[in-house]
Structure 1
Amino acid sequence: MTVDVPAWAAEAAALPYPTVFATVSGAHLYGFASVDSDLDLRASHILPAAEVVGLRTGPETISTDTWRDGVELDVVSHDLLKFARMLTSRNGYVLEQLLSPLVVTTSPVHRELVALAPGLITSHHAHHYLGFAATQERLFAKTGELKPALYTLRVLHTGIHLMRTGEVVADLGLLSSLRYVPTLIDLKRSAEHGAFPDSLRSTVLQDIERLRTELESARDTSALPAHADPAAVEALHELVVRTRLVENEVPASSQGHQTPSP
């Protein structure tokens, strides 16, 4: 995957709390960013213990939407505890954010999370991809735009690959062998909300239905467990506690944007 991440991305992802990680998500991760796509940065931060257990709690989620050098920036960060809870659900979004190869900011805690991720992946993650595909297919039927068609194809391919291999890959260009996908990606890269070519509509709809059936079959025959590995969940719990306690020991005057090692 070749993606030009702006040199200022790390500065743009700076948070008012220590950062566990920041990665690029969205169309850049999916392999079909357009010339006018926004830059989606996804992150996790560490609230100090006083802002978790006290009367005045800090933000579990921080969301900002700004512009930089003509690029719209969408930054969303979850506190480590919230992010860990989402990791133990069947949430494909957080898996893709954590395991994104487009890393803007990292830390020892990030690397521990990445190491734990395989033990948290289950066959039930297929429900996330089936649900998201259904939502995007309805949007495609309503708008006729290229973007939801590509999103539908992308999530189905990612889900199938995950069920078969246990590996998270979000780049449609790497996953799909459908002959028209490169054409659709090229069209998307020229315009964020481009029109879908009518000549391909019936073919794509047939492939979407086939891929949905394929994902359901891959889920039902997957070697992935039905539940997360208890040892991985326990290790995740210990990582959250350890990280929070270490951060609590950092003097308030020197916290800044340091990232503690657990």
Structure 2
Amino acid sequence: MPAWAGEVADEHPYPLAFATVSGAHLYGFASVDSDLDLRACHILPLHEVVGVDTGPETVQIDGMREGMELDVVSQELAKFIRLLLRPNGYVLEQLLSPLVVRTSPLHDELKSLAADCLTAGHARHYLGFATTQWQLYAKTAELKPALYTLRVLHTGIHLMRTGHLEADLRVLNTLPYVPDLIEAKRAGEHDALPPSLVSPERLAADVERLTAQLEAARDASHLPEAPSAGPALNDLLIRVRLARTAAELLTHAEPLDA
């Protein structure tokens, strides 16, 4: 993670509850030319919430920094909470990412409620994401969508079986050829998958098997059907809105090691 990632977060036009790194860096297979995917949660001032002209629920900033492409996306607190209460593994991965650029007491409160947002319905997110990436691989034969497919399926299986969210494919991997695929991808974000590392037939068979495992893990999961964190998250949002300023609750969003 580049040292200037925190500077990018500090340039955001609104106070941040947190900023974390997502994408290939979180998933354990960043390339030398991978984008830096920053994901964040911002808080609008009260007048941009209750006024006629409201502020943006989503802020997206693109650019370049020291030769690296930036993809910065933040969701306003209310929208982020709504997404948390849906079976959306993507926002949970952002919230719980260990690659923390900026954090705050509000970030800690949101994380403390994350376990009560997990449901068996999150399998639908991971199955859908895997299908999309597998279709992309069929069109491009690139390493990136192949690794994304395997990462998503492993994450979904682990979540359904354990109730714990883990996004790093290096931690979850069950396939002997994946370390070689990760190493090959380091050379380029859009390089083709070398058939010498794994045959298309073997890869397809493993994707089919992992998909079946995820479906079986979903059916056997002890995770609830619906989240239970709704009332607590609603109370948290009201507390933020009623504070005189967002800074009162956030204090200062600082680096994790500060």
* TM-score computed with the length of structure 2 as normaliser: 0.94
Map of 1:12 onto structure 2: 8
Letter in 1 for 2:223: L
| CA offsets 1:58-116 (integer angstroms, 9 cap, x no match) | 01000001111111111000000000000000001000000000000000010000000
1:47 aligns to 2:44 (yes or no): yes
- What CA distance in whole angstroms lies between the structure 2 residues aligned with 1:160 and 1:20? 30
2:191 to 190, 194, 217: 194
**Structure 1: unaligned runs, 5 residues or longer:** none
- What CA distance in whole angstroms lies between the structure 2 residues aligned with 1:108 and 1:73? 26
- The percentage of aligned residue pairs carrying the same residue is 62
**Structure 2: unaligned runs, 5 residues or longer:** 253-258
Give the ranges of 4+ consecutive aligned residues of structure 1 lying more than 2 Å apart after TM superposition.
257-261
- What CA distance in whole angstroms lies between the structure 1 residues aligned with 2:25 and 2:164? 19
Contact 1:123/1:163, CA 8 A, preserved across alignment? yes
Deviates more, 1:8-17 or 1:173-182: 8-17
Map of 2:256 onto structure 1: none
1:259 to 243, 250, 256: 250
Map of 1:205 onto structure 2: 204
Shift in Å, 1:259: 2.6
- What CA distance in whole angstroms lies between the structure 1 residues aligned with 2:83 and 2:237? 13
1:133 aligns to 2:130 (yes or no): yes
Map of 1:238 onto structure 2: 235
* TM-score computed with the length of structure 1 as normaliser: 0.92
- Aligned pairs for 1:143-222 within 5 A: 143-199=140-196, 200=198, 201-222=200-221
Letter in 1 for 2:161: R
| CA offsets 1:100-158 (integer angstroms, 9 cap, x no match) | 00000000010000000001100000000000000000010111111100000000000
- What CA distance in whole angstroms lies between the structure 2 residues aligned with 1:96 and 1:54? 32
Letter in 2 for 1:53: V
Contact 1:19/1:258, CA 8 A, preserved across alignment? no
- What CA distance in whole angstroms lies between the structure 2 residues aligned with 1:97 and 1:192? 21
- Other structure's SS at 1:127 match: helix
- Aligned pairs for 1:93-112 within 5 A: 93-112=90-109
- Other structure's SS at 1:36 match: coil
Shift in Å, 1:52: 1.1
Contact 1:243/1:260, CA 8 A, preserved across alignment? no
Shift in Å, 1:50: 1.1
- Other structure's SS at 1:13 match: helix
Map of 2:35 onto structure 1: 38
| CA offsets 1:177-236 (integer angstroms, 9 cap, x no match) | 21000000001111111111224211111000000000000000001011111xx21111
- Other structure's SS at 2:17 match: strand
- What CA distance in whole angstroms lies between the structure 2 residues aligned with 1:28 and 1:54? 39
- What CA distance in whole angstroms lies between the structure 2 residues aligned with 1:9 and 1:259? 20
Shift in Å, 1:258: 8.6
Aligned pairs, how many? 249
1:68 aligns to 2:65 (yes or no): yes
Contact 2:85/2:117, CA 8 A, preserved across alignment? yes
- What CA distance in whole angstroms lies between the structure 1 residues aligned with 2:67 and 2:249? 29
| CA offsets 1:223-257 (integer angstroms, 9 cap, x no match) | 1011111xx211110111101221xx139xxx6x9
Shift in Å, 1:260: 4.3
Map of 1:83 onto structure 2: 80
- What CA distance in whole angstroms lies between the structure 1 residues aligned with 2:168 and 2:105? 26
